[in-house]
Amino acid sequence: MADQTQPWAERTVEVPPQPGVGVVPPQRDAFRRGVAPVGQPRTPRTEQFPSVDPGDWTGESAPRRPMGWHVAQLRRGGEWSAAGALFAFVCWGIWAISGRGDLAAPLLTFVLSLLTAVGLFALARLLGRLVLERQLGRVRRSARGAHLVTAIFLVGVGVAYLQQTEWVVSAWNWVTGN
């Protein structure tokens, strides 16, 4: 048994040798366990990286993808926008019901907020295309970034609705002690 005064990482357990277990087959290429191959030449790569001509970045030579691929790409990350829209809707509902009046003007306000969020999503996608695809040459596989920006905006809209509701502000001040 190992000495209990040693740190746990330094303790070893003696195991009796078992036939056929623990036998290391002979290694090739002069490999030695625990010795790094420092200073030894590496084998050269046989494949070459594809050459990229900046003149081809116009998108004319890029293969056309089916519409279903683009729709699937836009859906990835949509849960962020959906959660932000749900939060904004609940906060809008609290604000609209607290107004005790006609719901036509609050409904128009909410629809305009959603249209602004759609415009922000489109702007984020456009900036992603210009920066990531055109400038950096990367391929976007989802719309998560644009959905996240849209969700943050919609949460801000929801908080703004709650800040305009008198009883919510009073309850918040009572909880925080202000």
| Residue 158 or residue 40, greater confidence | 158
**Any domain includes 57:** no
Query: Domain span at residue 118?
Result: 104-171
Q: Where residue 152 falls among pLDDT bands split at 50, 70, 90?
A: very high
Tokens of 135: 């400038």
**Any domain includes 119:** yes
**Any domain includes 145:** yes
**Any domain includes 149:** yes
Residue 30 has pLDDT above 70, yes or no: no
Burial of residue 31 (CB within 10 Å: 0-12, 13-18, 19+) is exposed
Q: Shortest CA distance to 92 belongs to which of 171, 157, 172?
A: 157
When mean pLDDT is compared across 45-54, 85-94, 151-160, 165-174, the lowest value belongs to 45-54
Give CA–CA dist 11/130, Å, rounded: 57
Give CA–CA dist 124/145, Å, rounded: 8
User: What percent of the chain has a predicted confidence (pLDDT) above 70?
Assistant: 68
Q: How far is residue 152 from each of residues 3, 14, 110, 121, measured CA to CA in Å?
A: 57, 58, 16, 11
**Any domain includes 60:** no
Summarize pLDDT for 60-99 with one digit per residue, the tens: 556 677 777 767 777 788 899 999 999 999 999 999 888 8
pLDDT confidence of residue 92: 93
**Any domain includes 87:** no
Split into its structural domains, the chain has a count of: 1
Phi then psi dihedrals of residue 135, to 5 deg? -80, -45
